[in-house]
Chain A
Amino acid sequence: MAADSFRDYLQLLVADDALVSFDEPVSWDLEASAITMLANRTDGEVPLFESVGATDSDAALVGDPYRGPRSRPWDRFAQSFGLSAGLSGAAYYDAIIDRLRSPCEPRLLEPERAPCKDVVHTGADVDLLSFPWPYVHRSDGGRYSNLHTIVAPDPETEWGRWSSHRMMIHDDALASLLFLAGEQVPNRYYYEYEPRGEPMPVAAVVGAEPAVQCSTEMWIPTGRSEAAFAGGLKDRPVDLVACETNDLSVPATAELVIEGHVLPNERLDEGPFGDYFGYMNGPRRSMPVFAVDAITHRAEPRVPFCVEGTGVGYGQNSSSTLQTAAAGPDATLGLQAAGFDVDAAVPWRFTSRTVWVIAMDRSYPGVLHELANFVFTTWGMLHIDFFVFVDSTVDAHDPRAVLTAIALNADPDTDFHQFGVERMPKVPLNIYQTPDEKGSADVGTSKAKTAKAYIDATSDRPLEDDAETESLRARAQQLLVDAGVSPEPFELLEQRQYGGGDRR
């Protein structure tokens, strides 16, 4: 059974005994996130908090619903997209890449058929704080929505641009959005709307179906829409519906949709927030203001959230799983489309936004540097600090295999490379830059530039030695045949025999 809505997805979890409901009231103030953190650490069931204390809302909270099983994080997405059960990491990546190669345009529903329009609040009726947004970590700057899709206009696509930017709730109708310059939607705001003094319409879609959540995490080429790739992922169209107060379209089965505008030349505090590194990350920054015009939602909406910081080490959470299950196959396809013979690009499971493993054959000298240059300069991957390159024969999904490759093949003298020293932009969410180096970061990247790095853990078989090695292998095969072994399995023997026939 595939999942066409977040509700369907929760039913999949129920059927798998992977969801536990809390009927007794749980507080949005640290309690829901603490329980979720324990579940994330112990690979336990996904918690659904049916009754959230101190709110007027009938909304429920769901803690890290997209967290996959620790041993096979992609399993639940595979199930959601109707793929076979029990796929290996490599087989899952192949299946997702196949789906992404066949995008499927979305379908626009009439509003009366859209579940996300069960309840509509506009104007003075809007009250953001009536929903149980969690206060996730002690010392966070405020309550957050951090597992949603931001829909923004894009003149190049009919369906707009989908991306992920956490949102700190300020009051009934205002929030701040973490817009880091360098990413597509923030760039549209900073370099197009704001200079014109024009508010940018946006919608925050909370509790979208799995295909939408996955495509939100992907790097979709300019001119293409995430909506079509989401349709490709589930092999049928995603249903969209028009917003009430602007021209955007949003996923129709979403649990909750917040419509509004990002105001020009206005800023509000954003952060600190306990971020994906597992540490509190400050200082607070001035970030663009999201002014809410309307809120629409399903009856008794289920509001998902992520306990950031629990997806490092052995723990998994929604964002680490989305990196592995969505961003990884998408990047693999992107690198292949760019002409790199990449077998797999897989986020390192223990710190998924910082380190990626790339399995590929080193087809010519300098290809690794060329690939790193392509990624760091073309895609502007602000979060990733370094790559580990391994041979295509190494399972990039298997941390032991990757560590073995580093131990056996990475020469400390020659295989650890710095890249773009003091020139590379960096998201100021890291913990190794000082506050001075991060700067005030009005538009998001650190004041001080940094370096990226890569480890070449591919096997060191110099290309110029290939002919000599092949000659040695052929000689060995001939010796074995001469000693009476069947020549059938030896691929070099025929060639040797032609040459060697004269010797006999």
Chain B
Amino acid sequence: MRHGTHDRSEEATLDHYITAEEHLPDEECTETTLQITDAETKRIFEARVRIAREPDELTDPQRLTVVTGPHETVSKEWYVELLDEIDAAGINEDLLRRLAREQETTSNIVNTRSDDLKVVLTYLVEAGQYESTAEALRELAFERLAEDRPALLEAYDAVRTEFEADPLRRALMDQE
């Protein structure tokens, strides 16, 4: 926490990010998705962030250089607070990880209420196309997700692989 007091020596220890003025949201201190560059590695990525002109307005402020001008040769110093990193397809992997971790200890039943859906699904079962309405719903939903949200399924697949392949990470996360 860096409320109230903030000096140059403290600033030197902050992480440093860069963004372009054209990417800034209209309002300060609201949660927004922003493309930023890590000043040290020059990695460019999107993250859920809050930004402000003064560090005291943020809980965990980091340096943010905002470049502007026709050739981006003018800059001003702002502050940014990183909430979650988002990958290039707009998938919040941290959120996916949290949900996957929570899923390990909660029920895996998905509920929905719809007379129409139940009639249609039951029809498919009684017509012999599926063994059960649950199976019909699972297969149809995954087919649709594969078609419309391939990046989400891919990211989830990567998260699951991570979980399975990294027992140490799992053990540490379980202790959190």
Contact = CB atoms under 8 A, between A and B. Distances in A.
Interface string A165-186: 0000111001000000000000
B71 A283 contact: yes
Contacts of B35: 269
A169 B45 CA distance: 11
A13 to B, nearest CB: 29
B72 A139 contact: yes
A135 B43 CA distance: 11
B44 A142 contact: yes
Which of A142, A280, A282, A434 counts the most chain B CB atoms within 10 A? A282
A281 interface: yes
Contact of B42 (A135, A139, A268, A280): A135
B44 A281 contact: no
Interface string A18-60: 0000000000010000000000000000000000001000000
Nearest to A135: B42
A141 B72 contact: yes
Contacts of A139: 67, 71-73
Contact of A170 (B20, B22, B43, B161): B43
Contacts of A141: 37, 44, 72
Contacts of A434: 70
A171 B43 contact: yes
B105 interface: no
A269 B41 CA distance: 17
Given A139-B67, A280-B72, A129 B41 contact: yes
Interface string A51-87: 0001000000000000000000000000000000000
A496 interface: no
Contacts of B161: 124
B158 interface: yes
B72 A129 contact: no
A213 to B, nearest CB: 25
A284 to B, nearest CB: 6
Contacts of B43: 129, 170-171
A452 interface: no
A279 interface: yes
B134 interface: no
Interface in B21-44: 22, 35, 37, 41-44
A162 B45 CA distance: 30
A386 to B, nearest CB: 24
Contacts of B41: 54, 129
B71 A171 contact: no
Contacts of B45: 170-171
A65 B90 CA distance: 39
B88 interface: yes
A278 interface: no
Contacts of A269: 20, 35, 44
A180 to B, nearest CB: 18
B88 A174 contact: yes
B69 interface: yes
A282 B72 contact: yes
A281 B88 contact: no
Interface in B118-161: 158, 161
A199 interface: no
A161 interface: no
A280 B44 contact: no
A170 B37 CA distance: 9
Interface string A93-104: 000000000000
Contacts of A289: 88
Interface in A263-286: 268-269, 272, 279-284
A136 to B, nearest CB: 11
Interface string A327-363: 0000000000000000000000000000000000000
A261 interface: no
Nearest to A133: B42
Nearest to B41: A129
Which of B42, B43, B88, B161 counts the most chain A CB atoms within 10 A? B42
Which of A124, A139, A289 counts the most chain B CB atoms within 10 A? A139
Interface in A396-455: 434-435
A280 B69 CA distance: 11
Contacts of B72: 139, 141, 272, 280, 282-284
Contacts of A174: 88
Contact of B71 (A135, A142, A268, A280): A280
Contacts of B42: 29, 135, 142-143, 169
A313 to B, nearest CB: 20
20 contacts: A54-B41, A124-B158, A129-B41, A129-B43, A139-B67, A139-B71, A141-B37, A141-B72, A142-B37, A142-B44, A143-B42, A170-B44, A171-B44, A171-B45, A269-B44, A272-B71, A272-B72, A280-B71, A282-B70, A284-B20
Interface of B: 20, 22, 35, 37, 41-45, 67, 69-73, 88, 158, 161
Given A139-B67, A280-B72, A283-B70, 19 more contacts: A29-B42, A124-B161, A129-B41, A139-B71, A141-B37, A142-B42, A143-B42, A169-B44, A170-B88, A171-B45, A280-B71, A281-B71, A282-B72, A282-B73, A283-B20, A283-B22, A283-B71, A283-B72, A284-B20
Interface of A: 29, 54, 124, 129, 135, 139, 141-143, 169-171, 174, 268-269, 272, 279-284, 289, 434-435
